[in-house]
Amino acid sequence: MQNLLHRFLGYARSDTRSDESSRSTPSTNSQMLFASSLADELRKTGLEEVTLDSNGYLMATLPANIPDSGPVMGLIAHMDTSPDAPSANINPIVHHNYDGNDIILNRDRDIRLSPKEFSELAAYKGQTIITSDGLTLLGADDKAGIAEIITAMELLLSDPSLKHGKVRIAFTPDEEIGRGADHFDVAAFGADYAYTVDGGGIGELEYENFNAAAATVTVSGRSVHPGTAKNTMINSIMVAREFDKLLPADERPEKTSGYQGFYHLYDIRGEVEDTVMKYIIRDHDPEKFSQRKQLVEDAAATVEREHKGAVVRVRMKDQYFNMKEIIEANWYIIEEAVEAYRKAGIEPLIKPVRGGTDGARLSFMGLPCPNIFTGGHNYHGRFEYIPLHSMEKAVEVIVNLCLSATKRKN
């Protein structure tokens, strides 16, 4: 465990944000550079069969130390960080023995992480907490997962008395832009099942996730001189505003929780002539998911009818689907996780993912893959933080999973 903090801090300082506008894989060269450094570290740690392909997928093997060890378990985390928040020049700060009050992230700008705004922070009084300096995200999503997996492998390799089967690990690019499984070679990975280490607070265990789609809505209008615009100008910005009003205002991320789905307008750019809006559409229920997508199409048609001359185009793309049905057909994976949690003194908090992981798509590619916690909170923003104790418990759970997998034979 003594290497865990040092390892995470080093990873966090690497800017590995993905780029949705890039068509390459990985979408940024910084991810490939990070993957290359991780490959060297994995070899030095003692892992075998370390491979890094041209798309930035890094895989390795912890060999079994017992004969006839049964099914092969996999562990997966992603290397990229969100492109939606500043992530250059990350400066992680370690706060020892948290006193329960506001944590000063940046004194010059008076940026504070406060339990008044983030109530769960109070539960970590007395612990060591890692944050950024308030100017960037921290990158625990998912550098924490990588650090926890490698630390667990290091512990297993250092103690031959810990008997385990073969374990495969993979670190993937571009998860944050929905492409993390695009070029994942399930056959080459060679695991019977896996866990993504990509969850939130301590104890979370997730095997349900949103069905997800992305929609780009382009509104084309007509630009003329404003002095002679009467009955001729079609202001695409105003038409776009009318389109957004047709989507339920109480079904946005900031107003939903649990199993409630949403429409999220996360980017809008426009001028009088053309406006482009980008949405993500989410719902756990497949029927409601289809209805949400249809509502977007219907809204476009309605706006076109009401604004003669305007053209509203919708480009919709499914991103991933709810893995619940796949995991329920392989329920032993959850049973093993629950046992591993409880051996670490943690009562599992089984909850739906209000998002997605590589595991959602991988489950439909033949690799059942629920999600376990890393310990982080407030991902994708400057108030992101992670308690060190939660990271240590994640390592303990991973080790327990590796040990418990030997009990079940093919």
Q: Catalytic residue numbers?
A: 80, 175
Phi-psi region at 347: left, alpha or beta (left = phi > 0; alpha = psi -120 to 50) = beta
What backbone torsions phi and psi does residue 250 show, to the nearest 5 degrees?
-90, 10
Give the rounded distance of the alpha carbon of 370 from its chain centre: 13
Contact criterion met (CB below 8 Å) for 91 and 133: yes
Distance CA 82, CA 10 (A): 18
Contact criterion met (CB below 8 Å) for 82 and 381: no
- The bridge status of strand 73-78 relative to strand 167-172 is parallel
What backbone torsions phi and psi does residue 270 show, to the nearest 5 degrees?
-165, 165
Give the rounded distance of the alpha carbon of 182 from its chain centre: 15
Contact criterion met (CB below 8 Å) for 168 and 190: yes
Tokens of 336: 């093993």
Tokens of 371: 């999600």
CA distances from 94 to 62, 108, 131, 134, 343 (A): 31, 18, 7, 13, 28
Distance CA 172, CA 197 (A): 12
C-beta neighbour count of 97 within 10 angstroms: 9
- The bridge status of strand 204-206 relative to strand 349-350 is parallel
- The bridge status of strand 58-62 relative to strand 73-78 is unpaired
Q: What is the DSSP letter of 57?
A: -
